[in-house]
Amino acid sequence: MSSSAAQGVSTPAKLSVIPQHVAIIMDGNGRWAQQRGLPRLAGHRAGTENVRRILRACVEYGVKILTLYAFSTENWSRPREEVEGLLALLSQVIDRELDELRRNGVQLRHLGTLEGLPDNLQRRIREAIAATAAGDRIIVNVALNYGGRREIVEAVQRMMKDGLTADQVTEQALASYLYTAGLPDPDLIIRTAGEMRLSNFLIWQAAYAEFYSTPTYWPDFGPEELYQALVAYGQRVRKFGGLPPSGVSQSQ
């Protein structure tokens, strides 16, 4: 992943602050396709192509963890043809990209449940996770068949099965049972296509994440727009419920 991946974009050195963990709600694929008179699946295909660009840019900018919202538990309600096409497309993407991801130090992780996914896709996901386990350049979490509420419910169920008592149920304990156990919460959540909601994405982990929305549809969200989101993040004052650090204006 060379610096040419983000040609025309200011270098990471010019960013005042770089978030460790960036999460993206990749929205607008279907609308992108409809604007062009194409089937919705063409938009999803363009969206998967864009993942490569953004992943390379994240490495270029020094982001250490990237979480992508690929398919929610609610997406099953979409037309069957679209769902089947999208899941088949995800299998193809794994096959096409796996070798390059491994060579470039990308560690893939899955957030969500494999239950209900096609057997061949489940197998490819497990193989991709195993094949990239040694990656140490960037962690990429793929939220696939993922729902934030379901994640919390499953975490509580596992805590109960493990016999935790009421006084052992703390924020730290619950966090250790989430899909993201061992990872820092996202610093920045980006949503494309102009929407202003989380849509059941990382609802526990996003408690103090900075939120950035852009009207750009995901297939058109390139490295330059990612850079602008990172610049905006660097201008925020993160107080975590407290007061700004000494010397920082309240209005920032």
For 39-80, give the DSSP string. Answer: -HHHHHHHHHHHHHHHHHHHHHHT--EEEEEEEEGGGGGS-H
Distance CA 130, CA 92 (A): 18
E strands within 82-199? 106-111, 138-146, 188-191
Length of the chain: 252
Burial class (CB in 10 A: 0-12, 13-18, 19+), 4: exposed
Q: Which helix (H) or strand (E) holds 97?
A: helix 80-103
The answer for residues whose C-beta is within 8 angstroms of residue 69's C-beta and 6 or more apart is: 23, 24, 25, 26, 143, 146, 199, 201
The separation between the first and the last C-alpha atoms of the chain, rounded to the nearest angstrom, is: 35
* The dihedral sign for the CA sequence 85, 91, 95, 99: positive
- Among residues 29, 75, 95, 220, the one annotated as catalytic is 75
Active site residue 75: yes
- Among residues 27, 50, 145, 187, the one annotated as catalytic is 27
Token pair listed for 243: 């007061």
Active site residue 104: no
Distance CA 66, CA 21 (A): 6
Catalytic residue numbers, as ranges: 27, 75
